[in-house]
Structures are given as structure tokens and as C-alpha cells.
Chain A
Amino acid sequence: MRPFDYVEMRVPAKSQYVGVARLTISGLASRIGFSFDDIEDLKIASSEAVTNAVQHAYAEGEEGEVVIGCALYEDKIEIMVADHGQSFNFEETKAKVGPYHDQEEGAFLREGGLGLYLIETLMDEVKVHHQEGVTIFMTKHVEGEQVEKDVETVSS
């Protein structure tokens, strides 16, 4: 038996579904026992990722779908957001996504701007896979110490 529960959503690449995805992830996160503040962080980070995917599809003039996969562990949540509408084998895709490098992803970062910066700040770990569209993979641990440190560094 795999060590996590898996929930996958597939929504049209339209802005009105960003909020739907956000609320669903909020519900899943509260099941795991995240604090109120962590859930708010997760809501923002997942909205940013889905917004990116929606805007990407919109820019391409596609009527695509966004796939959001959530792996729920006892002490963490892993969220994968893909803008190319393909269902993924969560473990396979997870193995493929690499660390996020500002240099290599320069164009993508500029496109995503503030949104990606927020994802990096609010989540414990972020990875991006750039092939057949963009897949963002992000992790947050229950009581993630990492976030608090990051926030302090940035705001000081």
C-alpha cells in the first residue's frame, strides 16, 4: 500500500476554477492537520500555480485543462500542477521534475513573476518540470520550519 492518499482534479484552464482548486486544497490540507496560517500559505501557493497554468493556456489560445494532483501524507502534502491537461503518473513525474533554477527558468520566471516567487517563499520545496508544458511540483510539511526562516530572511 502506498504511503499516501492521492487526489487528482482536472479543471478547465479558466480563471473561475482557480478558486475551486484553492478551496479543495484547503480542505485536503486541513484533513492532514496543517495550521490555519499554513493552509492560507497553501491556498496562495496553489492558486499561483493554477493561475500560471491558466494564463499559459490562455496565452497559447488553447482551451486546455489543468491537472492538479495532491499526495496526502501524514505529515506533508505534495501538490503537482500541470498546464498541459495530461494526467500523470504522480511518482513517475515526481522523479522527473528537477530543482528550480532561476537561471535556467529565467523566461518562465519572468512570465510568472511575483507568483513563482510567492510559491517558493510559501512552500518548503518547489520543483519545475519543463517538457510538454510546465509542471510545478511543491511540498509543504506540517509545521514547516523552512517557511518561517525564509520569511524572516526576505522581510528583514
Chain B
Amino acid sequence: MNIQVDLTESNNVLEGFVRGEIDAHTAPVLREKLETYQSHQGLKAELDLSDVNYMDSTGLGVFVAFYKSVNANGGHVKLKGLSARLKRLFDITGLGDIMDIESVGKGGN
């Protein structure tokens, strides 16, 4: 039940890797790290979630907040490497249509 968040930024391009489980306990860690960058003007963020093996609404909340803030500052957020499970979570909440999401799993539920 842990999370690992690695973020590197150069020339306003943010590359991120999130690993582990995102729930009520670990989401604050992720939120805090992302908040460092979310108000940069015109930030291009790409977050790789291929090693996220669990996520619930607390994780969705963090990504939505980050997405809103980056967008408001003229930037862009892309989430990539999502498993079919993770993609489904974004889809059933309607966020899949709004955010830039690239999944690896085909189909799924």
C-alpha cells in the first residue's frame, strides 16, 4: 500500500511516473507533488500511470484538480499507459471524454 511519484521538469515539460496504489492514504502525496508544477504557465505534462495497480475516486480527484489548474494556465495534461481497469474508471465518471488519456489495454470492460 504505497505510492511512488517521480516528476522531472525541464523547459516547462513535466514527465511523471506514478507507481503503486492511489487511495485516500496515498493521494495527498501525489497531490502535493503535482501542486508544485500546476501553476506554471503553459506546462506540458505527461504522466505515465502504467504501474498504477489501484486507484479510486481520491486519485481521480487529484488528477482532475491538476488538469483544471494546468488548463487554466494554458498548459496541457496527458495521462498515458493506463490499464483497461484504470481507463474504465475515467470512462464511467465521464472524465475520459474530457481529459487526454492514452490507454494501453484494448477493450476491457
Interface size class of A (residues with CB under 8 A): 20 to 34
A47 touches B93 (CB 8 A): no
B15-57 contacts to A (CB < 8 Å) = 21, 23-25, 54, 56-57
Q: How far is the CA of A86 from the CA of B54 in the complex (A)?
A: 29
**How many pairs, one residue from A and one from B, have CB atoms within 8 Å of each other in the complex?**
60
- Rounded to whole Å, the gap between the CB of A60 and the closest CB of chain B is 16
**Of A54, A117, A148, A154, which one neighbours B24 at CB under 8 angstroms?**
A54
How would residues 84 to 124 of chain A score, 1 for a CB under 8 Å from any chain B CB and 0 otherwise?
00000000000000000000000000000111011001000
**Of A19, A114, A154, which one neighbours B21 at CB under 8 angstroms?**
A19
**Of A16, A48, A118, which one neighbours B92 at CB under 8 angstroms?**
A118
B10: Cβ under 8 A from any A Cβ: no
Q: How far is the CA of A19 from the CA of B3 in the complex (A)?
A: 12
A19 touches B23 (CB 8 A): yes
A19 touches B88 (CB 8 A): no
Task: Give chain A's interface secondary structure class.
Answer: helix
Contacts of B56 in A (CB 8 A): 44, 47-48, 51, 115, 118
B43-83 contacts to A (CB < 8 Å) = 54, 56-58, 60-61
Interface size class of B (residues with CB under 8 A): 20 to 34
**Of A16, A19, A40, which one neighbours B85 at CB under 8 angstroms?**
A40
A139: Cβ under 8 A from any B Cβ: no
B24 touches A18 (CB 8 A): yes
B109 touches A151 (CB 8 A): yes
A18 touches B92 (CB 8 A): no
11 contacts between A and B (CB under 8 A): A15-B23, A15-B24, A18-B24, A18-B25, A44-B56, A51-B56, A55-B24, A114-B93, A115-B57, A118-B56, A118-B89
Give B residues with C-beta under 8 Å from A.
1, 21, 23-25, 54, 56-58, 60-61, 85, 88-89, 91-94, 96, 109
